[in-house]
Amino acid sequence: MKKLLNFKLKIWRQKNHQTKGYFQSYTIENISPNSSFLEMLDILNDKIVRSKQDFPISFDHDCREGICGMCSLYINGRAHGPDHLITTCQLHMRKFKNNQLIYVEPWRSQSFPIIRDLIVDRSAFDRIIISGGFISVNTFGKTIDGNIIPVPKEQAEKSFDAATCIGCGACVAACKNKSAMLFVAAKVAQFSFLPQGKIERKNRVRKMVQKMDEEGFGSCTNNKTCEVECPKGISTEYISILNKEYICSFT
């Protein structure tokens, strides 16, 4: 049987984006090394509720399978924590040492205002998608038409790799300029490689880049921290594709 773990936690508490936040200290004991990070927070919240001394910690989650991107936390200075190619819900407590001090924070970006505690408002990403990240042709009931269009294997794979972006915002959190270039690049590229997406490609990239700037995201730093912290390993190569698409949209 594996030894149970104890931790010291400093967790960011903030009522809303208009109030001042602070780190609150907690201790948690007898945690299984096989518990996920979110399960550890569940146990801590149960302890807080039972003590009736504080409100439970607010944090976002949904699928807990690394698909939805909701569980976005900054853990000990890294987006999604110390492991690689995972989301927070896939992070296990065996990645930490017994009695280790763990800092837990929300994403830090002006474009992602804090809703409460560890939850941020990432609707800026939704607005970027709405601005142009879709194919406007009505395909309802006619998906077979799209499936019969031949797509070269290499292009299909590149499109699929870009489409694995779950919009978690780790790229923004990791970038010193809080750039959303990797996110936008992935959403532009997943269509630009496919014949179905080529008709609107010029309008798409111009509208999405414009909306990205309007939402207050910074410019690309070219230091590739976004690629390092992306839980899906999306390459900064797609940023080059985005730049090419944007330049070509004016010709």
- Express each pLDDT in 38-50 by its tens digit: 999 999 999 999 9
115 against 143, higher pLDDT:
115
User: Do 242 and 195 form a contact (C-beta atoms < 8 A)?
Assistant: no
Angle at the Cα of 240 from the Cα atoms of 236 and 243, rounded to 5 degrees = 130
22 against 140, higher pLDDT:
22
* CATH class, range 5-116: alpha beta
Confidence label for 135 from pLDDT (cuts 50, 70 and 90): confident
Residue 1, pLDDT score = 56
- Give CATH 3.10.20.30 domain extents, the chain: 5-116
Residue 88, pLDDT score = 97
Confidence label for 197 from pLDDT (cuts 50, 70 and 90): confident
- Express each pLDDT in 64-95 by its tens digit: 999 999 999 999 999 999 999 999 999 999 99
Q: SS3 for 251?
A: coil
Residue 144, pLDDT score = 65
Contact partners, residue 36, CB within 8 Å, separation at least 6: 64, 89, 90, 91, 92, 93
- The CATH architecture one would assign to domain 123-248 is Orthogonal Bundle (1.10)
Q: How far is CA 156 from the centre of its chain?
A: 23
- Express each pLDDT in 212-230 by its tens digit: 999 999 999 999 999 999 9
- Give CATH 1.10.1060.10 domain extents, the chain: 123-248
Residue 198, pLDDT score = 87
